[in-house]
Amino acid sequence: MAAPTPPAEEVILIPQSFSSPTHFHEIVDRYKKLRLQGLQVDPNSFSSTYAEESQFPAETWQSRIANPSGKTFISVMDGNKSPENTEENILEPSNLKENQESPSLALQKLLQKEWMGQITILGPEIFLNPEESLEETPNRRPWDIFIKDGGYSIPCTPPHTLNLDGAHIVYLVVGMFVLPQARRRGNARRLLEAAVQAVREEGRARGARAASIVLQVESGIDNAQRLYGRVGFQAWGTVVLQNRHGKPSPMVAMVNEVGLAD
């Protein structure tokens, strides 16, 4: 019986540790290349600019991959495969390989396959302690913990140092992007589903009572809001953040309440 054909496109989690410095630097370089390409071809998808990030030193890029509070997922594609833009491909079951493969195999695929898109989630952070409830703190919003002085405050606390037992935890989505030639193939949905699944698994493993994922979308970008809505995000309100030009801009805050029950 013939072995099943591996999927042309799949999502892989970048490992948290590397046995080889060479592999680490190769992954950082590939991440940097895709990020800068995204900033050039689709600047509206980012809160930063190509002009700013193209000047980042190597240490900044390395810190993004090495951040213990970050999980970065990459949508990869075999170089010799290019599925058609059909509804069948868009709705095919997700291939969340970070939950099924060894780190060495995941790394091998990240080094060999084409990168088509990426998403990073930051967290967990504690939104509500075990003794707190949202009803008792109605003015507290799950995204506030990630915002400081009108911009994002990137957490760098090692997650294992936090006691999440019984807490309501929260994560932030940043850097969501898919190359134009890889859109309408389900890549964005697969990336988002991978992030949601990672939050669900970590929340269950750490004993959290609830988990939320937050993100912000510029007002008026309806197609992005529809995409996020299809994977469980709901608009919760408006938050003013500095846009990529350093000016205050209203953003739609969206939240996905991730179910942790078995």
Q: Is this prediction's pTM over 0.95?
A: no
Please, is 83 exposed, middle or buried when counting C-beta atoms within 10 Å of its C-beta (0-12, 13-18, 19+)? middle
Amino acid 214: pLDDT: 97
Peptide bond into 124 cis (omega under 30): yes
Residue spans per domain, the chain: 9-258
For 37-78, what is each residue's pLDDT tens digit?
Answer: 999 998 888 888 999 999 999 999 999 999 999 999 999 998
For 91-142, what is each residue's pLDDT tens digit?
Answer: 333 444 444 567 788 899 999 999 999 999 999 999 999 999 888 888 889 9
- What is the end-to-end Cα distance of the chain in Å, rounded? 35
- The band of 80, judged by pLDDT with boundaries at 50, 70 and 90, is low
> 120: closest CA among 44, 38, 58?
38
- pLDDT (average), residues 138-159: 82
Please say if the pLDDT value at position 6 is more than 80.
Answer: no
Fold of 9-258: Aminopeptidase (3.40.630)
Q: 217 with 252: CB under 8 angstroms?
A: yes
For 199-216, what is each residue's pLDDT tens digit?
Answer: 999 999 999 999 999 999
For 220-250, what is each residue's pLDDT tens digit?
Answer: 888 899 999 999 999 999 888 877 767 788 8
Please say if the pLDDT value at position 83 is more than 70.
Answer: no
Amino acid 7: pLDDT: 53
Amino acid 46: pLDDT: 85
Helix (H) / strand (E) element for 63: namely helix 58-66
